[in-house]
Amino acid sequence: MKKARGKAVRSQNDEMSPPVRSRGWRGPFAIATIVLLSAAVVVLSFELHRVKNRGSASRFFFPSRGMPHAAQDLENPTGNSTGPWGRLTSRAVMIEPADTILTPDYFEPFADAWYLTDAMATNLESFLRSAGLSTEEVTNLMASAEYNADVRQFRLFPDREMLLNMNPETRATIYAELAKCEMNALQREPFRMRTTSADTWFQGCGLRKEVVAMMERMLYRRGPFLMFSDPGILMAELPSPAERRQAMRTLFRQRALFCSIHIEPGDDVEALSRYWGSGGRVAAVQPLIDSMADAGGGDLDVSLLLPPLARTFLYSYPRPENTVFRDCHWTSLNYFLVAPDDRFADREYATDMFVSNYTVVTGTNYLPGDVFVFQSADDQVIHTCNYIADGVVFTKNGGTAHRPWVLLDLSSVVDLYSLQGSVKIDVLRRTEDMTR
């Protein structure tokens, strides 16, 4: 058996955070302050209220305020499969944060500055023109430029009209370049939806048609994802707190899967219990599976079969009172625990845990809780998530506040982490579970 290799654990999304409003440009101390404030804003977050399915079996309402969507409209894999996990049904849902925990800071307009390093600023004017900006727009942008020699960084201030009316291709080109600089938090970690149509993102959102049209004008595409990076200008355009709240909640929407297994009397309950009870949890899941079979059969929500911590966090957003940066690696290492161990938020500690306590899985007989480790072409670990069944994973796709814990098809996660280049995946299992 191969032991897990010691690679630095980091995520391309983990170090990104929602922006803070500009307070001035006063050299390296200001930069340090901005970075600290950005990190603090990460913990301003949201909680999802789940409710049970209302209406027909093909419709789901997440969260409790009620947001009906037909499963086939959400462009998520929806279907059935049979395997060691039993008869699995996966259905599409859309989730969003509950109103009661939306933090007021997110609804205040803030400066949409663009940051560029010296290297990025080389031939800046010609780049902006080639991206599709007019001569006047480039002239105005360059006139707004400020340079901080201490940190060797430029800052530009795009005006309202340009941000509202850039065409999607121009925005995509410029924002791809801005994403190379860590200060451009919302170009590096934009609001996003894996969809072929903006209708999927905005359907049933309750916003005025004019507001939806404005938001759609500011969308741009990276691969199979629609992106939005300009909440500051959006908040400035909306007249009421209620509408700003509704718009922000819509931006925070995420696609997910709701999964269940169908159990019939006479099913091999022991085999199902061994599968879902991986990690030494057979005694915890077998009574549930037994009871469903004894009661004449039915559909059992997969979330009820997950370990306590994963079950608690599923379909939720990080809570505002939490001050720990709970990212994908924190999530993967905490999967089997009852209470969270926040030491896993430390990168070095997380790396040591993977190296010393996990073994590489050979073959494809994966079990719930196995860790899928995504690596870039240069062998950097950029994401981890936990396998559940039939290509469904338990994942938090980024450490920021607007990334909830969800069940999602593995192909969507691969698409996300392949945006910057091809990825390869190793699968790890806790060494103590290799012989169970």
The pLDDT assigned to 26 comes to 41
Task: Give dist(CA 81, CA 262) in Å, integer.
Answer: 10
| Buried residues in 283-312 as b, exposed as e (16+ CB within 10 A) | eebbebbeebbeeeeeebebbebbbebbee
Report CA Rg, the chain.
23
Question: What value does the mean pLDDT take over residues 159-183?
Answer: 94
The pLDDT assigned to 6 comes to 55
Nearest to 392 by CA among 198, 203, 257, 206: 257
- Backbone dihedral region for residue 27 (phi beyond 0: left; psi -120 to 50: alpha; all else: beta): left
Total-model pTM: 0.80
Task: Give dist(CA 174, CA 128) in Å, integer.
Answer: 7
* Cα separations in angstroms, 89 against 81, 289, 359: 7, 16, 30
The pLDDT assigned to 405 comes to 95
pLDDT band at 400 (very low <50, low <70, confident <90, very high): confident
Task: Give dist(CA 153, CA 181) in Å, integer.
Answer: 10
Q: Provide the CB-side half-sphere exposure for 161 (13 A, CA).
A: 6
pLDDT band at 66 (very low <50, low <70, confident <90, very high): very low
